[in-house]
Amino acid sequence: MNLFWDQCRPLLEKATRRTHGRYEPEDLYREIMSGDQLLWVAWNQERNSIDAAMTSQFATYPRFKMHRILFCGGTHMKEWLADFREAVEELARKAGCKGVESAGREGWGRIWPGAQYEGAMFFKEL
């Protein structure tokens, strides 16, 4: 895992900066290692490198379960996005989830066909 993490950490670091201190890359690592989050990697065979890293987890609500995408960072999105969507949705189906959810910039909804934009998350530091 450490070999992969050394390449994934900088890809996910930009996304953790948007959490206003809720997460640092070390927190993601700890949650991945404990099984609280799943790590997804977009491997580019031609470049022999990781193009992107993503994390997800299952969220269990009183009425159903969802597969939640938490963090994503990387490059060459057009090359791996379709495979990532397919894999995330397939795991969600196998796990009995009602669907896939995520919080993020509105643009993420546009690249996830059929997704509904449900509003924004607000943060006010006290």
Q: What is the pLDDT of residues 38-79, one digit of tens each?
A: 999 999 999 899 999 999 999 999 999 999 999 999 999 999
Lowest mean pLDDT among 22-26, 67-71, 98-102, 105-109: 105-109
Residue 8 lies in a domain: yes
User: 27, 48 in Cβ contact below 8 A?
Assistant: no
Residue 46 lies in a domain: yes
The tokens for 11 are 């890809």
Whether the pLDDT of residue 1 is over 70: the answer is no
User: Which pTM value belongs to this model?
Assistant: 0.86
Give the dihedral of Cα atoms 117, 40, 76, 8; nearest 10 deg: 120
Q: Which domain holds residue 37?
A: 2-109
User: 67, 91 in Cβ contact below 8 A?
Assistant: yes
| Total of domains in the chain | 1
Which residues does 23 contact at the CB level (< 8 Å), separation at least 6?
16, 71
Residue 124 lies in a domain: no
Q: What CATH number should be reported for the domain holding residue 55? A: 3.40.630.30
Residue 50 lies in a domain: yes
